[in-house]
Every structure is written in C-alpha cells, then in structure tokens.
Amino acid sequence: MKNYRKLVPVIMIFLMVISVYYFFDNINRTNQEINGYISQGDKFYKEKLYVKAIDEYSKAKAIQSSVGIDKKIADCYEQQGMELDTERLYEDMLENYPKDVTAYEYAVAFYMRTEDYENIYSVHDTMRKRGLVSEDIEKIMAEIKYTYYMEDTSLVNVGEYFNEHCIAEIENGNKGLINSTGGTEISFSYKFVGNYASECVPVITQEGEALFLDMEENRTMNYKGEIQPEELGIFTENKYWAKQGETFVYYNAEGTQQGNTYVAVTNFNGNAAFVKENDRWILINDKFEKISDAEYAGLIIDDSGYAIRHGMAFTNEEGVGYQLTDSKGNKVSEEYYEDARLFVDGTYAAVKKDGKWGFIDSKGKMAIEPQYEDAKSFSNGLAAVKKDGKWGYINEKNETAIDFQFEDVRNFNSSMTCFVKMEDTWFRLRLYSAAA
C-alpha cells in the first residue's frame, strides 16, 4: 500500500508529460496543416489561380483565422478586380481584430491604392477612437492632408463664406444663399440676397419688396424705410443699413432711422462701424457718435460689407497707403501698404507691398514676405494666393497645399469647403479631412 502511494505522484507526472506532449503535438500538427494550406494557396496565387488560392486560404482560416490569412484572401479578391468584396473583407478585419494595428495598416494601404481618401480618414478615426497608433498610417495622413474632391455647379458667381453661408448667383441673375457644405439654404428666386447674421437674411424680391427671412424662408422682419432700397445690409446689433440711390441710411428693427444719411457705410462689428460723410470716413459707435477724431481718405471693406474684422481695420489717412488700425482708431503699426485684405480667421492678413502680396499678423509683423501676384487673407488655416497667373492655396508655413491651377477662388470655411473656378465653371471643392 505504501509503495502504491509512492507511485501516484510518478504516475501523475507521467500523465501530465503525456498530456503536454499531445497538446503540443496537436498544435504542431494543426500548424503544419494550416501552413500546408497556405503554402498551396501561395502557389496558386503565383500562378494567378486566384479562386483555387482562396479555397486553400479559406481552409486554413476555418482551422484558425488570422489577419495574415484574411490579407491573402483580400489580395486574391483585389487581383480579380473584386473591389467591393475586398473592401468588405477589410471592414470585417477591423471588426474581427480591433486591437491589431496591422489590420488598419492593410486597410489604409488598400484605400490608398484605390484613392479612396474618405475611407482612409474613416479608418484612421476608428483607430484613434480605439486608442491605437501606427507610424506608417500617420505618415500617410500627413501625405494626404490636403487631398480634395470637386463638384461642378450651375453657379455663375459666388461670394465669400460668412457665418458659414455665402451669396451665389445663377445664370438668370437670381440670387440665393449656399450653406457650409454647398447646399441651397435660401432659394435662387431673389433680385438681391445679403449675408446671414442674427438668424436672418436680407432679401429683395423680384417685385421689389425688401424684407428679412429665416433659414426656412419665413418672413421675420419687414423693411420700413420710406425710400425703396437697392441693397440691405446685415442685421446686427439691432440695426442694418439700406442703400437708397447714392445714399445710405441705418434703421433699427422698428424701422426708425438711426444716425444721419451717409455717402457710404459699413456693417457694425460690435459697437463700431465706419461711415462716410462727404469724402471722408469716420469711426462711430453704436450710438452714432464719433469714436476718434481721425478721418480717413480710404478704407478696406470686405465682400460682406465689413471694415472691422477681429478688432482690426486698414485705413488710409492721406491717400499714400493703408495702415493697420484697431477698432478705436489707434494705429497698430506705422507700416504702409499699397493694398490689403481684412483678417478672416484672426491669424494672418494679406497685404501688398512693393507690388507683391504677403501676410502680416495682428500686431503688424510680417509673417510671410511679399512674393505673390495677389492673395486673400488666411481662412481656417489656408490662404488663397496667385502665382504665374493662377490661384492656389498655401498653409501658414508658406507651403503649397493645393496647386496653382484656378482662374478664381474663394476662402475656405470651417467645413473646409470653398469655391474655385476652372474653365469658366465654378466648382465646390472640399478637403477629404473635413469628413473625418
């Protein structure tokens, strides 16, 4: 009995060794079987017998699935031009192996080959949400940062985006309002359409009626001036201007005239605006009182009717050039410029000096030396510039983001959408990164 008890541990160790042996032997046999199928599949693949290759790879996958086997099957699909099946398999890979970076790298490589940039951004976004990082994919993302797609339009003219909307015109001369992604917000049925602000848009109908609409084209406010206007300004700070022949008048929401009758005006930005009396521009507050004693011969006004953006203006006192001025009438810089564009996103404004365009910051310091034939201020990280007769876009490092190829261009909005003109046709251009 005692000898039997001594044998028990020995027997247990022996059985354990046998179990381990058979365990690893089974693994080895399984691996050999898998490798056999893969090897045969590889031979078929080299011979371009893709259907037979898929059959062998599928046998291996039935025993034990892996990213590597799925990749081999995807390669077979791709070689046969079965793009939808290939894409579907990569989508499955990302779901089946959510923590395997290789799956994402394979998928991105495939989308690069097919130039499917939208899916590249989608895969990259999914990977980041799952806390994964791939240096190879990050290099690709840097490479395609400014890739874009274009869609032609039936527009004959477009304005700059303001508050994520821009005024546009169709062939019959009717005007409407486009939203941030290029869709129609205010229908193309009006003689005049102004910019969107304070939840409303000024319009003048084909019959000459002046009023304000919301985004559903419901009437929100009527023009109550005595003289029929040709144009209406943005409704902001409880006031708007109306152009009446050769003069301009401000009104409040109740239709009461504000201030005097002017030769020219700008929109209020906060509590400040410029108005022109006789042949001089003056700076006023929202009570129509002079803010500064300075009077100006010239002023830079943007397409939206503003002369002050981000607290800055460009004024001309003596007709010798424009200076950067703040909203209180103080000179920010002593530099003079032949021409300028207002700040758009608050970073760099375009200025013209010695016949060339460059960029300054809000303190008047030159950020990009003058070197271009024409330029627009930076908007959402990119600026339109003209070189050798064509427009393109640069980033804040003065690197070419979009090649010089356009006849005319507009600024990017926050949805990274803009309008560009080629061969007399306006196109809507959007960066793929905007969909990420």
So where are the chain's domains? Answer: 36-149
pLDDT in tens, 134-182: 999 999 999 999 999 999 999 999 999 999 999 999 999 999 999 998 8
- Give the three-class secondary structure for 9: helix
- Give the pLDDT confidence score for residue 361 in this predicted structure: 97
Residues belonging to the chain = 436
34: enclosing H helix or E strand: helix 2-46
170: enclosing H helix or E strand: strand 166-170
- Give the pLDDT confidence score for residue 434 in this predicted structure: 83
pLDDT in tens, 61-94: 999 999 999 999 999 999 999 999 999 999 999 9
3-state secondary structure the chain: CHHHHHHHHHHHHHHHHHHHHHHHHHHHHHHHHHHHHHHHHHHHHHCCCHHHHHHHHHHHHHHCCCHHHHHHHHHHHHHCCCHHHHHHHHHHHHHHCCCCHHHHHHHHHHHHHCCCHHHHHHHHHHHHHCCCCCHHHHHHHHHCCCCEEEEECCEEEECCCECCEEEEEECCCCEEEECCCCCEEEEEEECEECCCECCEEEEECCCCCEEEECCCCCEEEECCCCCCCCEECCCECCEEEEEECCEEEEEECCCCEEEEEECEECCCECCEEEEEECCEEEEEECCCCECCCCCECEECCCCCCCCCECCEEEEECCCCCEEEEECCCCECCCCCECEECCCCCCCCEEEEECCEEEEECCCCCEEEEEEECEECCCECCEEEEEECCEEEEEECCCCEEEEEEECEECCCCCCCEEEEEECCEEEEEEEHHHHC
Beta carbons within 8 Å of 158's beta carbon, 6+ residues apart: 166, 167, 168, 169, 178, 410, 419, 426
Q: Who wins on pLDDT, 111 or 227?
A: 111
pLDDT in tens, 7-26: 545 445 544 545 544 444 45
Mean pLDDT of 342-356: 97
Alpha helices in 209-308 (DSSP H): none
Q: How many CA atoms within 13 Å lie on the side-chain side of 370?
A: 14
Q: What amino acid is encoded at 32 in this protein?
A: Q
**Main-chain phi, psi angles of 361, to 5 degrees:** -90, -175
Report, in angstroms and rounded to the nearest whole number, the Rg of the chain calculated over CA atoms: 33
How far apart are alpha carbons 41 and 54 in whole angstroms?
7
Which CATH number among 1.25.40.10, 1.10.150.170, 1.10.10.10, 3.90.1310.10 corresponds to the domain 36-149?
1.25.40.10
pLDDT above 90 as % of the chain: 83
Whether 127 contacts 104, CB under 8 Å: yes
Cα 347–348–350 angle (5° rounding)? 155
What's the pLDDT band for 225 if we cut at 50, 70, 90?
Answer: confident
- Give the pLDDT confidence score for residue 9 in this predicted structure: 56
pLDDT in tens, 267-287: 999 899 999 998 899 999 999
Mean pLDDT of 303-325: 93
Least confident of 119-123, 179-183, 305-309: 179-183
Task: From 361, 385, 378, 436, select the one nearest 412 (Cα to Cα).
Answer: 378
pTM, entire model: 0.87
Whether 384 contacts 375, CB under 8 Å: yes
Least confident of 43-57, 154-168, 226-240, 381-395: 226-240
- Give the pLDDT confidence score for residue 356 in this predicted structure: 98
Could you tell me which residues are beta bridge partners of residue 130?
Answer: none
305: its two tokens: 């009717």
In the sheet with 323-326, reading across from the earlier edge strand, the strands are: 298-299, 312-316, 323-326
